[in-house]
């Protein structure tokens, strides 16, 4: 009886060693994540270590938070020739690595990704929205206030958590803002901004500028002793608060910035009567 028990235990040990060995050799491993390039302020944050500067060749693991400062750029290999790149002022967390692919969460800033055909897929989460790329190239940007812009340069992106939009094809852009309808449009070569009016102001010196730009881009007006900001609507129209233009007129600067961090600017001249003004109700906006 004792001999049989010993034999049974030996068989169990052999079986356990075999299962562990099989899993080590053939079980799910997932792609290896490694730093391909790190420039400037690029760090990895782990609970037990805090922030550690990244170097080329560093291995990354699930739950690592990657952060890039104002002067930094980070490029990470995610297996079989696929990679993702974080731009300046960006943060991303690695949430899962399996045979099926890599899952990350964009916490802020902008990221670009390229996934080769046949390689593990990339899943990107941002503000409750899921983006799945089996193969191709995408750009994604998340602003501090939750505005999200996604561009598909190649392939097709599967979407989850986006009302009325299940996929996004190559050559298309998707702009999203909390509480607003998603807006899909063709990708443009550069961000644009134009002043739609007015070019003259009334006797009281008040002027309200209307600008045209990309949906949900942040538009800032500076000049005439004021700095004001507003987020453009789904039609790309930004109606800025009124400012007071001094006698004789003033030149103001308009700047638009989208969630990918791209900017466009234009200056505009307002002509105002030089004589006495009528009393008005416009409010002077301070910087």
Q: Evaluate whether the domain defined by 34-186 bears CATH number 1.20.1430.10.
A: no
The residue that leads in pLDDT, 242 or 283, is 242
The residue that leads in pLDDT, 17 or 223, is 223
Average pLDDT, the chain: 85
CA distance 176 to 168: 13
Q: What percent of the chain has pLDDT over 90?
A: 67
Closest by CA to 101, choosing from 139, 126, 130, is 130
The residue that leads in pLDDT, 262 or 48, is 262
10 Å Cβ neighbour count for 234?
14
CA distance 192 to 133: 28
| Residue the block writes with tokens 């000049």 | 223
| Residue the block writes with tokens 């812009």 | 149
Examine the pLDDT at 18 and tell me if it is beyond 50: no
Ranges for all domains in the chain classified under CATH 2.60.40.10:
194-270
CATH of domain 194-270: 2.60.40.10
In 3-state terms, what secondary structure has residue 10? Answer: helix
SS3 letters across 108-170: EEEEEEEECCCCCEEEEEECCEEEEEEEEEEEEEECCCCCEEEEEEEEEEEEECCCCCCEEEC
CA distance 114 to 230: 33
62 and 95 in contact (C-beta within 8 Å)?
yes
Give the pLDDT confidence of 191-249 residue by residue, as tens digits: 999 998 766 676 777 888 899 999 999 999 988 788 899 999 999 999 998 888 887 78
In 3-state terms, what secondary structure has residue 283? Answer: coil
Give the pLDDT confidence of 138-174 residue by residue, as tens digits: 999 999 999 999 999 999 999 999 998 999 999 999 9
CA distance 162 to 174: 10
Q: Provide φ and ψ at 32, rounded to 5°.
A: -85, 130
Whether the full predicted model's pTM is greater than 0.85, yes or no, is no
Ranges for all domains in the chain classified under CATH 2.60.120.1440:
34-186
């Amino acid at each position: 009886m004792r001999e049989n028990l010993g034999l049974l235990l030996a068989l169990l040990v052999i079986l356990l060693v075999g299962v562990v060995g099989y899993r080590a050799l053939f079980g799910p491993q997932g792609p290896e994540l490694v730093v391909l390039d790190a420039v400037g302020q690029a760090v990895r944050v782990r609970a037990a270590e805090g922030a550690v500067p990244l170097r080329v060749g560093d291995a990354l693991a699930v739950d690592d938070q990657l952060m890039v400062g104002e002067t930094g750029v980070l490029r990470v290999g995610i297996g079989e020739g696929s990679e993702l790149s974080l731009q300046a002022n960006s943060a991303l967390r690695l949430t899962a690595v399996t045979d099926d692919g890599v899952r990350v969460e964009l916490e802020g800033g902008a990221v670009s990704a390229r996934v080769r055909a046949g390689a593990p897929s990339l899943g990107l989460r941002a503000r409750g929205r899921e983006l799945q790329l089996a193969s191709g190239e995408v750009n994604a940007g998340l602003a501090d206030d939750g505005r999200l812009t996604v561009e598909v340069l190649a392939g097709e992106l599967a979407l989850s958590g986006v009302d009325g939009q299940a996929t996004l094809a190559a050559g298309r852009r998707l702009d999203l803002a909390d509480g607003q309808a998603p807006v899909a449009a063709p990708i443009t070569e550069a961000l644009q901004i134009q002043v739609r009016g007015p070019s003259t102001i009334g006797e009281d010196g008040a002027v309200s500028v209307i600008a045209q730009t990309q949906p949900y881009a942040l538009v800032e007006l500076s000049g005439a002793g004021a700095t004001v900001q507003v987020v453009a609507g789904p039609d790309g129209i930004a109606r800025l608060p009124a400012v007071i233009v001094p006698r004789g007129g003033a030149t103001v600067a308009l700047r638009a910035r989208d969630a990918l961090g791209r900017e466009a600017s234009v200056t505009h001249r307002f002509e105002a009567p030089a004589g006495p003004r009528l009393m008005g109700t416009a409010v002077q906006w301070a910087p």
